Amino acid sequence: MVLWDAAEKKVIASVWAKVDIEADGFQALLRTLHVYPWTKRYFSHFGAMSTLKDIESNPKVRAHGRKVMAAVGDAISHMDNIKGHLSQLSQLHSDKLHVDPANFELLGNNIVIVLAVKLGNDAFTPEVQATFQKLVAVISSALTREYH
Amino acid sequence: MVHWDATEKQTITSFWGKVDLAADGEHSLQRLLYVYPWCRRYFHKFGDLSTISAIRKNSHVRAHGHKVLSALGDCVPHLGDIKGHLAQLSKLHCETLHVDPANFCLLGKNITICMASHFGVTFTPEVQATFEKLVTTVAAALSSEYH
């Protein structure tokens, strides 16, 4: 079980209050699809994504980015049992979506980068970075948990 | 050999012109030492690195961050042969410094995050992709003489 101290919970709550689920979710997914192009393989039903312009103007990318970021927000609301909370989603990613779990880390990295872009050096301190890297690592691990 | 197209070369050159070697170098190394604490093992001679306050005040961290980011900048004029350019530095990290090469990727990751936080929205997805390619290439080059 992952332990969160009071400082970490406070950092996550105060940063998350500034997150724009739609815009930031879109940016995180867009960066993942552009910087790690093999991830587009999972979204062939989204239509055109061969160039960055295609990805940016694809409404399905925007919608899915929002969905993913909202799911991260839900995990935050269940911080004391992220593993239990994400167990169904983990089964879905393994049994139906067949996503290589290494990709969860890539998306997590891009969520961290989007927060860095948004908050800037003064607010996105090493302490904030460490806390959010721990959060995305815990979420990745929870999403991988039901794989078999 | 890593191939860079004209757009990537232009992106790197114009981006690198705006990097603050001292401040960005310091921040990148601070982030590495705080978020991945085992890296402090390589810097015992720097003195106190036990807390984020200590890391922030440590003048060796500032100096070394500058040195590392300058070395990264020195790769920019040698994009056509980063591996050759870094061969000696690779040998040094293997034979004298005994650095686990996995740490090069971690530093690259923290340099990327530092750039994102410094440059904000101008750190676009295209810049990010090119920059990640650069730090990955440098990490691979630094590992290439390991034996």
- The confidence score (pLDDT) of residue A74 equals 97
- When the pLDDT of each residue in chain B is averaged and rounded to a whole number, the result is 96
CB contact under 8 A, B120 and A124: no
Which of B39, B61, B113, B118 should one mutate to test binding to chain A, selecting the residue with the greatest count of A CBs within 10 A?
B113
Tokens encoding A119: 């908050």
- Chain A residues within 8 angstroms (CB to CB) of chain B: 30-31, 34-35, 52, 109, 112-113, 116-121, 124-127, 129-130, 133
Residue A67 carries which DSSP code?
Answer: H
pLDDT digits (tens, 9 = 90+) for B13-37: 999 999 999 999 999 999 999 999 9
A98-114 b/e with 16+ CB inside 10 Å = b?
ebeeebbbbbbbbbbbb
Predicted complex ipTM? 0.92
pLDDT digits (tens, 9 = 90+) for A66-105: 999 999 999 999 999 999 999 999 999 999 999 999 999 9
CB contact under 8 A, A119 and B117: yes
CB contact under 8 A, B113 and A120: no
Model pTM greater than 0.90?
Answer: yes
How many other C-beta atoms lie within 10 A of the C-beta of residue A43?
Answer: 16
Q: In chain A, which residues have their Cβ closer than 8 Å to the Cβ of B117?
A: 116-117, 119-121, 124
Q: Determine the Cα–Cα distance for residues A11 and A124; give it in Å rounded to an integer.
A: 10
How many other C-beta atoms lie within 10 A of the C-beta of residue B147?
Answer: 5
Residue B145 carries which DSSP code?
Answer: T
Question: Are B121 and B3 spatial neighbours (Cβ–Cβ below 8 Å)?
Answer: no
CB contact under 8 A, B35 and A126: yes
Tokens encoding A145: 């948990």
Question: Nearest Cα to A59, choosing from A46, A41, A71?
Answer: A46
Q: Determine the Cα–Cα distance for residues B88 and A37; give it in Å rounded to an integer.
A: 33
- The confidence score (pLDDT) of residue B1 equals 81
- The confidence score (pLDDT) of residue B23 equals 96
Q: In chain B, which residues have their Cβ closer than 8 Å to the Cβ of A120?
A: 117-118, 120
Percent of chain B past pLDDT 90, that is, above it, reads: 99
Residue A50 carries which DSSP code?
Answer: S
Residue of chain B whose alpha carbon sits nearest to that of A123: B117
A54-92 b/e with 16+ CB inside 10 Å = b?
ebbebeebbebbbebbebbeebbeebeebbebbeebbbe
